[in-house]
Amino acid sequence: MTEPNTIATSKLTARRGGPLRGALRVPGDKSISHRALMFAALAVGETAISGLLEGDDVRHTAAALQSLGVTVTRDGPGAWRVNGVGVGGLTPPDDVIDLGNSGTAARLLCGLLAGHGFSTVLTGDASLRSRPMGRVVTPLTAMGVTFQANEGDRMPLTVTGSDDLRPTAYTLPVASAQVKSAVLLAGLHAPGETSVVEPTPTRDHSERMLSHFGADIRVVAEGNGRRITVAGQPELIPAAIAVPADPSSAAFPAVAALLVAGSEISLPGLCTNPTRTGLYTTLAEMGADLSWDNERIEGGEPVADLTVRASQLKGVEVPAERAPAMIDEYPVLAMAAACATGTSVFHGVGELRHKESDRLAAVAAGVIACGVVVEEGADSLTIHGTGKAPAGGAAIAAALDHRIAMSFLVLGLASEAPISIDDASSIETSFPDFAGAMSALGAEIAPDV
């Protein structure tokens, strides 16, 4: 398997070169990695985790748990051990907990702290402090948690849990796996049953992992969505977890291989959970040459190996109901749409405005700067593909957003003129040494000097 060459710099430029070739094991799934650490912390005893993503976001989760009295040990690359303290067993931290850029860690940790009768101050970097936490604050307040926050429910956020937490039945106003998971985590600490109704199914890693650790959890269809119910105050049992490769991280080399003529790469061990594969469904509709092999189950999650070959793509209309299964992948899908023949329309993407940056606006502005016609709506994005290599030549402000940074580096590999990004540091949150890994496949991504 191709070994990456380490490239660490703030500014990077991507330019057209030869075809991409080889195999790349992308980092462990970020969503599963956060949950593996947190749920293991609530089990009684030691859980071994393999394949853990070691990006900045997940390391902040590990450090947060350590500050709350959980022993977390790294044995080697991707290999970690968590000595769980049981449901309700966390201890007060000595200081403020800094979660860096991780919205997942922030929202899930609110649920983890909900059943503990002490106060914790959560903060993060400038990007995380700008993101509202109201969607988590509202249901957890109803359960008995007290919050103090900056204007607009923004961090720094003081979370005061309750030893007498109330169970709830909460209907999500907007589909969100993070909010769902926070309420389910809080529900573990409340007597009786706590239910979450989601209008559209979202990624179900929390449900799968709760079952893996022995929780009493039920999932039933309700309308077009699902009702998830968890029984409170269980004793969770330690259970080894193998974290599969992240399909969201794999999206970047996959789209690059589709756009660069003559490319063929393999991406082994990808999580193929159906709540996470909306991008690949969409790419197939666009005419992408994708082959899935060796399908299997690892750690309760479906996994397979993906082969990607360069393809001429065509425009596609993506329905709003697919958004929860690919919300993080729209930025890189926009790069594919920019090079496709015909028009692509993405519906139901307003949630992109509430990520690490306003991704909808950032994608639209960047693609326009690269010579592609784009129409940005409140909840939609229309891209008129060039059917060939776009002009490129833009300098993109990544806005501390790892997915914006990686997406435009991918476009730079296919555009006529190079594309540069002003700050690649955020990429470390989810895909450590992305530039080195891509360069090992033959991509021309180098420091901007």
> Which H/E stretch holds residue 179?
helix 177-187
311-348: pLDDT as tens digits:
999 999 999 999 988 989 999 999 999 999 999 999 99
Mean pLDDT of all residues in 3-10: 48
Of 294, 437, 298, 422, which Cα lies nearest the Cα of 362? 422
Q: What span, in angstroms and rounded, lies between the C-alpha atoms of 424 and 48?
A: 32
223-253: pLDDT as tens digits:
889 999 999 999 999 999 999 999 999 999 9
Task: Give the lowest-confidence range in 6-20, 135-149, 391-405.
Answer: 6-20
Is residue 6 very low, low, confident or very high in pLDDT (cuts 50, 70, 90)?
very low
Q: What span, in angstroms and rounded, lies between the C-alpha atoms of 134 and 154?
A: 8
Alpha-carbon dihedral angle through residues 100, 105, 109, 111, given to the nearest 10 degrees: 140
Name the segment(s) of the chain with CATH classification 3.65.10.10.
12-28+244-447, 30-242
pLDDT at 5: 40
Look up the CATH architecture of domain 12-28+244-447: Alpha-beta prism (3.65)
Residue 416 DSSP one-character state: S
pLDDT at 350: 87
The answer on pLDDT for 176 being more than 60 is: yes
Token pair belonging to 364 = 């639209």
Mean pLDDT of all residues in 5-29: 85
Token pair belonging to 308 = 């990607």
For the annotated catalytic residues, the residue numbers are: 328
CATH class of 30-242: alpha beta
pLDDT at 291: 98
Q: What is the pTM of this model?
A: 0.87
pLDDT at 8: 45
